[in-house]
Structure formats: structure tokens, C-alpha cells
Amino acid sequence: MADLQNLITHLNEQVKRKTTQISAIHIIAATIGLSLDLDVTLDTAISVVMNVVGAEAAGISLIDDTTQEVVLRAQEGWLHDFVKKSPMRVPPGQGMSGEVIRRNDAIVDNNLTEGHQFAVPRFGKERFRSIAMAPMHARGQIIGILSVMSHRADRFDDDIVETLQSIADTVGMAINNARLYEKHVENEDRLNAILQSTADGILAVDQNGRIREVNYAASRLLQMSAQSLTGTLLAESPIPNELRARLVTAMQAQAEDSDKSFRVTLESKHEIQAVISIVRMPSPVVGDKEEDGHVAVLQDITHFRDEELARAQFIQAAAHDMKNPLSVTQSSLFTLDSLLDTSDPMVQEVMTIAHAGITRLQRLIDDLMQIEKIESGYGFYREDVDLRELGYEVSAQIKPLMKDKGLHYEFQLDDNLPSALYIDREWIQRALFNYLENASKYHRPQGEVQLRIYRAEAVVRFEVVDNGPGIPRGALTRIFDRFYRVEDRRDVRGSGLGLAIVKSVAEAHNGGVYVHSQEDVGSTFGLWLPLET
């Protein structure tokens, strides 16, 4: 009977102990889990631990990842400041800390005497008589040590040590979370600093089309504060109309590569180049689903345009000055041709080279003069032109070239075209010829080329479609610039002016040009003209 009574008392005590421990863990978790600030977490943990265990002093040490030293990070109830003033760092493996880590278990010393050899002698000045230490774990590793101290001997019994051990890991987890969070905030701050200091404007749009990030350069470029843009839907944002519309198009799921880099001129006359990329981001709602956000990089290229203009003017002037001497050289060459002994193969070769060189130079000068002519409006003669007739004429012109290259050519005409369009016949023919000539120059074996003319709402579109090598994405925004040629296609002869001429022709008619292209698949070069001119 007495035994049973004893057993019940014993069990009761055990239950009481466990309950005390569990409620201690609960109090610790509930209190220190509230903050993600590392210092606040440490301070809260220390005072709660002292309370729960009933100790007069406590300390939290963390393991330095690089040196493996045990460094005191927070203290309470001590006489001296071993955290800030004279930091306490215990070398790896030494003292009671070394013992705790080696055993990976709590230890206690309830009778520290004056002669005790501490790993850090200064610690002796605290005159603690009892000390209990427990390792703190996080993600399966010891990250530090939780200690409680008293100035009285025999202060910490097994129950207290057990409780200390069970709360140490809860404290460890909280510290680990706070550290991770701090690291995350630090990374975010660093990224933000980079984002804000880059010279390019950056606009980040989330999967719902809402603007999430606007850096300093972007807000300067758009002359709008970041606050007025952040959080708004891109489609409803106060960004200038044309730029906004093109950004929206570029971020649509069905957008093509060619929509994703473009140039626009703002009302302020600033010319902006935009390149849009997709960023996959985890869906905030659906588990393992990813959705598309977008980042637009905006650059102010006004100064490039001005330089290009100055360069174009200079070249134009040079072309003018070269035209006459070139004609004189060419006629002299013809005269020389008739005087020389052309049966000599050496003479023949030299003359052929000279003729070819002059012809190329002449073509370049002709192209330059053409651009100037269109832009000046000189000799621009509009009339009602039958588009069917125009299409057949260009086709007849280009067919021999296509046949020569072994390309399959097709001409397609829309039924509901207007009977006539008020345009300059020669210029439009020249423009289409340039597109078609390019398709024949930059082709692949057994290639196919199609010219199609069709009506789309208030415009007529002329498109040349090929399945040639396509255009690298990085070249798309510059392809219509004067003298621009794709770097790795230099083996094909050309001046880099063909597309610039098409653009000038289209603009002279209040129309425009565009290109859709994918490398190794093909290109569609388009020219649109308004129905009403």
C-alpha cells in the first residue's frame, strides 16, 4: 500500500515536472517567437529563461562560423559587460563550452570555487558558484550555448537542467529564424542599393500586371515619382501613352520576341529604348505553380540619336562631294579600258577589280542620295496606285533573282484591298524590292519567300515573309538604323542602308515599318500605310 502511495507520489511529481517543462517551452516559444530582430530575440530569450528557470544571471553564446569560437552575444545579471566592452570569445574546444559542444549535452557545475580555472580567466571575476549550460540546436546543428548562473552553490538540480535543455532548442530556432531574416533583409537592402544606383531605368511588373518596383533612373527618365507608379496596374499607370501601350503588349503572354525590344520617342523628345524580359516567380496562391512577372529595362538613347543624326549629316555631305569625282573616275576608267590591251589577263583582272569597286561605291552613294531625297520630299510624287498592279510589277522584277537563288517565291493578295492607294509608286516599289532583295540575300537552301498585301482595319500592310536565318534578338531594335548590319553576316555584301530606305519611305507616307523575327525560323518584314493619306 505504502509502495503504491509512493509510486503515485512519484508519478505525480514526474507529471508536474513535465508540465512545468512544457509550459516553460510554451512561454519561451510564445514570447521570443514574436520578434524577428536578432537583438530583441536574444534579450527576450535571456529574461524569459531566467524567469522560467529562476536564475539570477544568464548568457547566450553563438558559434562563430569561421573561427568556431564560442562568442558571448547576450548577457543579463552579470557584473561586467562581456558583450560590447570586452567581448568574450572562448577558443574552440576549451572550458565548459568546449565540453558542452563535445558531449552535445547539457552540463552543470554547482560548486565553482575560487581556484577554478576558466577558459577565459576574466569570467572568474563574476564569482558565480553554480552554472548550467545547454547546447542550442537549429537545423540539426549546434549553433550556440544557453547558460544560466547563480551566486549560490548547488543551485541547479536535474529538473532545472532538463528544463534548460528543452528550452535551449526553442531559443536556438528563434535565433536562427531571426538571423535568416536579418540576412534576407541585408540581401534585399544590398539588391535595392544596386537597383537604385544603376544607370538604366528598371520597372518590375508582377504576374497581375501591377508595377512592383521602379528604380531612381526609371523615375527620372519618366519624370514621375516612384510612389505614383508603384502598386498601380501598368495598364492604368500614368506612364506616357505610347510607351505604356507597348510595355503592355510586350508583357502579354502571346507577345513575340520582336515586341520585347523597341524604341519610342516621348513627348519630351526623349528617345527611350526598352527591353522586356520575363521573370518566373512562384505563385503566391497556388503551391508549386510559377507565373510570369516582367522586368523592363529602359534606356535614354536621345544622345545616340543626336550623334547618329550628326553622323548621317556628315556622311550625306561627303556623299554629295564624292558623286562628281566618282563619275569622272568611272568615265576615265572606261576610256582607259578602250586604250589598254585587254587581252593581257593581268590587265583584265585589274580593270575588273577597279570597275567592281567603283560600282559598289556608286551604289552606296546612290543609296545615301535616295534617303536624302525621300527625307527632303524632293521629287515625291503621289498618285492613285493600283496595289494589284504594283504587287505584280515588283514580283516580276524580283522573280529572276529568286530563281537564281533556287528560292520558292509566292505573291498573295487580299480580296478586300482598296482599289487604289494615294502613294508614290516608285518609292513603294523600291521599298518592297529592298525587303525582297534582302530575303533573297539572307536565305537558306530551298528557302521560301512570300510577298503579301492585305488590309487590316485602317491600314494596308505589305509583308515579306521568309524562312531564312532570322535576326538575333539583340539586333532587332537597330535593324532599321542606317549602316547597321548584323555582325556575323558580313560575308554577304551590302551597305546597311536598304532597311533605312524602307523606313524613310514608309515615314514619308505617314506609315511605318516593323519586323517579327526568330533566329533559325525566319523573318517577317512589314510596311504599313494608312488608308487615308
Which among 34-42, 215-223, 291-299, 488-496 is the span making contact with ligand ADP, rule CB under 6 A?
Answer: 488-496
Q: Using the rule CB under 6 A, is 485 a contact of ligand ADP?
A: yes
The edge-to-edge listing of strands for the beta sheet with 459-466 is 408-413, 448-456, 459-466, 522-530, 512-518
Type and span of the H or E element at 528: strand 522-530
Q: Pick the closest to residue 515 from 483, 485, 475, 488 (CA basis).
A: 475
Q: Using the rule CB under 6 A, is 479 a contact of ligand ADP?
A: yes
Cβ of residue 522: shortest distance to ligand ADP, in angstroms? 8
Type and span of the H or E element at 244: helix 241-250
Cβ of residue 479: shortest distance to ligand ADP, in angstroms? 5
Q: Using the rule CB under 6 A, is 442 a contact of ligand ADP?
A: yes
- Based on CB atoms, which residue is closest to ligand ADP, 38 or 502? 502
Cβ of residue 238: shortest distance to ligand ADP, in angstroms? 36
Cβ-Cβ contacts under 8 Å for 188 (sequence gap 6 or more): none
DSSP 306-368: HHHHHHHHHHHHHHHHHHHHHHHHHHHHHHHHHHS-TTSHHHHHHHHHHHHHHHHHHHHHHHH
Cβ of residue 359: shortest distance to ligand ADP, in angstroms? 15
| Closest residue to ligand ADP using C-beta atoms | 494
Q: Using the rule CB under 6 A, is 463 a contact of ligand ADP?
A: no
Type of residue numbered 523: S
Q: Which grid coordinates are listed for 35?
A: 520578434
Cβ of residue 489: shortest distance to ligand ADP, in angstroms? 4
Q: Which grid coordinates are listed for 334?
A: 572606261
Which residues partner with 46 through β-bridges?
none
Cβ of residue 474: shortest distance to ligand ADP, in angstroms? 12
Q: Using the rule CB under 6 A, is 523 a contact of ligand ADP?
A: yes
Q: Using the rule CB under 6 A, is 498 a contact of ligand ADP?
A: yes
- Judged by CB under 6 A, the residue of 496, 514, 518, 531 near ligand ADP is 496
Q: Which grid coordinates are listed for 150?
A: 547563480
Which among 34-42, 167-175, 260-268, 436-444 is the span making contact with ligand ADP, rule CB under 6 A?
Answer: 436-444
Q: Pick the closest to residue 423 from 531, 292, 264, 294 (CA basis).
A: 531
- Judged by CB under 6 A, the residue of 494, 503, 509, 513 near ligand ADP is 494
- Based on CB atoms, which residue is closest to ligand ADP, 273 or 434? 434
Q: Using the rule CB under 6 A, is 486 a contact of ligand ADP?
A: yes
Q: Pick the closest to residue 530 from 500, 508, 504 (CA basis).
A: 508
Yes or no: say if 366 and 376 are a contact pair by the CB < 8 Å rule.
Answer: no
Q: Using the rule CB under 6 A, is 508 a contact of ligand ADP?
A: no
Q: Using the rule CB under 6 A, is 439 a contact of ligand ADP?
A: yes
Q: Using the rule CB under 6 A, is 170 a contact of ligand ADP?
A: no
Contact residues toward ligand ADP (CB under 6 A) are: 434, 438-439, 442, 466, 468-469, 471, 479, 484-486, 489, 494-500, 523
